[in-house]
Structures are given as C-alpha cells and as structure tokens.
Amino acid sequence: MEKDRVVDTTGFLVSLLLILLLLMGPGMGKGFASCVTADCHQDLARIARPHAPVAEGECLECHQRQVPEHPRKGGGKTFSLVAAGAALCANCHDPLPKGKVTHAPVAEGDCLSCHQAHGGAGPSLLEVTDSQEKLCLECHEEDEFGRKYVHGPVGSGACTQCHNPHASDQPALLRQPSRKLCLSCHQELSAPEAAVLHQPFTAKKCTSCHAPHSSSQARLLQKKYPDLCFSCHQEVGQNYKKSKVKHLALYKDDRCGNCHASHFSSQPGLLQEKEMDLCLTCHGRDDRRKAKPLKNIKTEIAGKKHLHGPLAEGRCSACHQPHGSENSRLLTGSYPESFYAPYRDGTYDFCLSCHEPNLLRFPDTTIYTDFRNGKQNLHYLHVANRRKGRSCRACHQAHASNGVKLVNEEGATFGDWKIPLRLALTSTGG
C-alpha cells in the first residue's frame, strides 16, 4: 500500500515537471517550433505566407492556455484566444483603420470574414487568394460587376485600387473623393483649360454618367445614348422625341457625342468645334447616299461674295434646329416645301422671324421694301399672289450668292430650268 502511494506521488511529480517544462520552455515561448512539429499542427508549417506570429513561433501572441493538460485526453480545447474578435487583432494592428464609413466586417469585429488567422497562399492573409474580386463577390452582388464592359480595376481583380477595405471618410469606402480618385488614372481630364465644362464634371460626379464597376454600354455609361443625356436634358429629349424631322447625326447613331464633347470644350454648348466648322464636317462633303443625299454646303458657299447673315456669323443654329424640328430641313419655323406657296399668316414664319413681315402684307409701300416698281410692292406681287405666289427660294439663295440680297444670279430653279433673273436696282426700287 505504501509502495503504491510512493509510485503515485512520483508519477504526479513527473507530470508536473513536464507541464512546467512545457510552460517555461521554447515550446511555448517560441510556440512555432513545438506547435508545428507536433503531430497536431504540422499543417501550419506548410503555409506559403504565414501570419507573422506563426512565422515567428509566437503562438501565445494570440492563444492562452486554459488547462494544464495539452493535448487533453479525450479531446477538447485546452487553449483560448487572448481576446475576442477585432480586439485580438488590435493587439498588434493598432489602431485599426477608422473613418466616417466602416466596412461591415470591420464594424462587426469579424476580421476573419476576409482574412485567415494563420496565413494562406495569397497576400494579406486573404480568405480567397487568387483574386480580390472573388473575395469581394462573396458578399457583394455579382450582377454589378459582370456586364459587357468592365472597369479596368474590376477586370483585374484590384478592388482596393479604388476602395479602402477597412474604413474611409468617403462614401463607398473610396480611397479619395470621387472625382480626385477617377483623375488619379484619367489624368488627361485633370486640368482642362476650357471655357465650358460639363455640369457633372464641375460637380465632381463622374458616376452621374459612368458606372464605376461595369456597364452594358461602351465607356461604362450608365445608360445608352441619347437616353443618358436626356435624363438631365429633359426638354431637349422631349422636343427630339416628338419632332417630325430628326437630325441624322443624333437619330442614326444615337450619339450626342457626334457633336458635343462629354467633359469640356472651348465652344458654347460643349460643341466639338466652332459651330459652322462642326456642321460642315458632315454638310461640307459629297454625300454618296442614293436616298436624300446631303447637300455639300461648303462647295455651295465657296467663293461667294455674299453670305446669309447667320452663316456669315457662323450660326447655323439661327435657322436650323440642331436636334429635331417640326419643319423640313430642321428649320426653326414654318416654310413651304413647294415652289408655289402664296403668303398666308404662318406660311413664312421662318423667314419673317428676322425679315420685316409687312413686306408681304401690303400691295403698295415705300417703306417696307426696296423691291418696288415705284410704290408697287414687288415682294407682295411675287409671294402674296393668291393664284401663283412663289416661295422665297424662287429668287433668293438660302446660304450664299454673288448677287446682292442673295438673289440667285444663275436664275430661279424651276424644275430643270434656271429662269433668268434680271434685277436692276433703281432709285424707286428695282
């Protein structure tokens, strides 16, 4: 009996000594050597990029013993974490990033939503190692990122190029204010020396027009042209949609950008060029379309002595609506299509918006027109004639002429015939 008591005491002392050696020896002071060489935790030695405490054998930086026996017979945990959740990480990573906006896992103290505790194959101990994008898509809706056109950082899986993963003072965890962030890559837009800036550009809201992640539209546009533009320019959109005649530059390609710059311009209305030069990029070339080819206005006006006033000022839009119109040729007012069109109120509103309306209202005058035979009003005679009133273009060119008052010296076009015009100015008219 006494012998058994001695044996039991000796066994207890040996066990106690082993426990003390474990507690005091390099196995716990430098836990990596013993923890990973033991049969239980050998997998930690194979981690490609271990967490610093693991790599340095400092297991007790994060773990603390609960009971003397390790491993415990019959299983069960013998160690616990020295602190819970983010408080544990903050022991080393102090202070944790802070800002007005905090990433949900950080705010909830759930660092392990994104990071692996001991290490992994990729950088930053990330749970998903081959792409930041895959990790982010475990929580964020994939539809936002999978459309036809993808923003470069999204396509390369570099979400943190734009977003801080922990906290930020900017909405959506952006690394910088929205426009400044965009311009850090799109530097060609950073310092425009231009007179006219697009309002979303000056308001520093790139995402008013562009989707930040992906889009079904080229250039990451939020909507297709022209719907994107019409979402702000509503009056233009309404007039365009209900107009009978639509500008082909907008109608054919649905491209406001054919005429307008997207961000800034030296010209009013964000035009790509000076107004007349811009119009002549299309209306100044030979159009080979069989159906309704465009007239080459550049050839028509070249070398002419007299230009129509608005054209001389480079203002095509004084006569033509740039988007759409109720009138032929996109005219800003009513004007007859036919050669014979007797004057009635409203028939010639287009011309009479600038020219004196009374020159077509009185058969005799000495003040409203110089085109007279004495007092006889020859404008009234030719245009207001109820039987065969002729339109203005019977005698006048719309854009340019070598004749004064834009009179067509080649003659009035009547079918295939040029009717000779023999205008001679006199002291009482002409």
Domain contains 9: no
For residue 412, the SS3 value is: strand
Domain that includes residue 63, residue range = 25-82
Q: Give the CA angle between residues 111, 116, 122 to the nearest 5°.
A: 120
For residues 110 and 69, state if they share a domain: no
Residues 6+ apart with CB under 8 A from 263: 189, 192, 197, 198, 201
Domain contains 256: no
What is the pTM (predicted TM-score) of this model? 0.78
For residues 72 and 103, state if they share a domain: no
For residues 72 and 138, state if they share a domain: no
Count of domains for the chain = 3
For residues 358 and 395, state if they share a domain: yes
Domain contains 356: yes
Q: What's the Cα-to-Cα distance from 179 to each of 165, 197, 202, rounded to whole Å?
A: 19, 14, 9
Q: Which residue has the tokens 């320019």?
A: 233
For residues 52 and 103, state if they share a domain: no
CB count within 10 Å of CB 386 equals 8
For residues 127 and 214, state if they share a domain: yes
* Tokens standing for residue 98: 């802070």
For residues 62 and 130, state if they share a domain: no
Domain contains 59: yes
For residues 78 and 105, state if they share a domain: no
Domain contains 178: yes
The H or E element spanning position 168 is strand 167-168
For residue 324, the SS3 value is: strand
For residues 157 and 77, state if they share a domain: no
pLDDT 10s digit of each residue in the chain, 430 long? 444 444 455 555 445 444 444 444 444 444 445 687 667 788 888 899 999 999 888 899 999 988 888 888 878 888 999 998 888 999 898 777 889 999 999 999 999 999 999 999 888 899 887 678 889 999 998 889 999 999 999 999 899 999 999 999 999 999 999 999 999 999 998 867 788 999 998 888 999 999 999 999 999 999 999 999 999 999 999 999 999 999 988 887 778 999 999 999 999 999 999 999 999 999 999 887 767 788 899 999 999 999 999 999 999 999 999 999 999 999 999 999 998 999 999 999 999 999 999 999 999 999 999 899 889 999 999 999 888 899 999 999 999 999 989 998 888 878 888 888 877 777 777 6
Domain contains 386: yes
Read off the amino acid at residue 244: K
- 32: closest CA among 62, 53, 15, 11? 53
Domain contains 254: no
For residues 409 and 338, state if they share a domain: yes
* Tokens standing for residue 426: 């006199």
Domain contains 312: no
Asked if residue 101 lies in contact with residue 163, where contact means CB atoms within 8 angstroms, the answer is no
For residue 176, the SS3 value is: coil
Alpha carbon distance 270, 262 (integer Å): 7
